[in-house]
Amino acid sequence: MMEKTILDFDIEQIANSGQCFRITRKDAITWKVVAFKKELYITKLSERDYAFNCDEKEFNEIWYGYFDLQRDYKKVKENIKRINDPYLTAAVNYGFGLRILQQDPWESIVSFIISQRNNIPRIIKIIDRLCEPYDGFFPSPEDLFVYTEIDFRNLGLGYRAMYLVEITKAVINKKLEIEKIKNMNTKDSIEYLKNFIGIGDKVANCIALFGFSKIDAFPIDTWINRIISAHYNGHLDIDRFKEYAGIVQQYMFFYQRSL
């Protein structure tokens, strides 16, 4: 067990931000995080102090990057507030502890295919069922390659079952190359992902942002469309904050859902 003081970080906000489906609350102050074949328990000791049930080596090698701790979010928030956008300033202040998680790319691809036209509690249940045979850890492409469409449907995926069959085949057959996406710019990575069945513009942006750390990706879902309609007269100029577009999206999404 080790303790850390971390600024601009709130595990409860991150857990409830819709970007990850494997952070669960265990009690009033403790959360369980499952990622990269590891389980991490985080206990909130104060507004800025946390206890992690891992050693310094594991924290630095896995969780430091996973929680995007190398990024200066104080500076990011200051830059966003300089835009002088009242709604956005309120969203940033409300979501003060949000960070963009740097998740496993394959897990993000599968998770956000499952997420389309779905609600968060149901997504979590489906992913939990998917992980159950693998000691609770996320299955690899090789693990899922043996699944049929019926197998996926039995897990509750509905029409998305076919998408998972096809995307798994694409990865195994190297038609979808994860390493190739890592080296692409954001626009090219999104267009590349959209070549595969089950991945439209919103899902591709989510995968780029949360699975490949393309911070200028900007997923637009029902909540964001609602914000654009209500607060920006139907048009939001993303170029105003292009460098941090994905972080801005998270502040907006979290704030609007909380309202």
pLDDT tens, position by position, 122-161: 999 999 999 999 999 999 999 999 999 999 999 999 999 9
**Is it the case that residue 258 has pLDDT exceeding 90?**
no
pLDDT tens, position by position, 195-233: 999 999 999 999 999 999 999 999 999 999 999 999 999
- Of the candidates 17, 15, 85, 11, which has an alpha carbon nearest to the alpha carbon of residue 43? 11
Structural domain boundaries of the chain? Answer: 2-86, 105-212, 222-258
Confidence of residue 175 (pLDDT cuts 50, 70, 90): very high
Give dist(CA 130, CA 139) in Å, integer.
8
Confidence of residue 259 (pLDDT cuts 50, 70, 90): confident
- 105-212: which CATH topology? Endonuclease III; domain 1 (1.10.340)
**Overall CATH class of domain 2-86:** alpha beta
Give dist(CA 78, CA 251) in Å, integer.
13
Give dist(CA 9, CA 71) in Å, integer.
11
**Is it the case that residue 87 has pLDDT exceeding 90?**
yes
pLDDT tens, position by position, 93-108: 999 999 999 999 999 9
pLDDT tens, position by position, 30-85: 999 999 999 999 999 999 999 999 999 999 999 999 999 999 999 999 999 999 99
The whole model's pTM is what? 0.96
Give dist(CA 98, CA 106) in Å, integer.
23
**Is it the case that residue 22 has pLDDT exceeding 90?**
yes
Instruction: Tell me, yes or no, if the two domains 2-86 and 105-212 fold the same way.
Output: no
Residue pair 31/41 in contact by the 8 Å Cβ criterion:
yes
Q: Which residues contact 186 (CB under 8 A, 6 or more apart)?
A: 208, 214, 216, 217
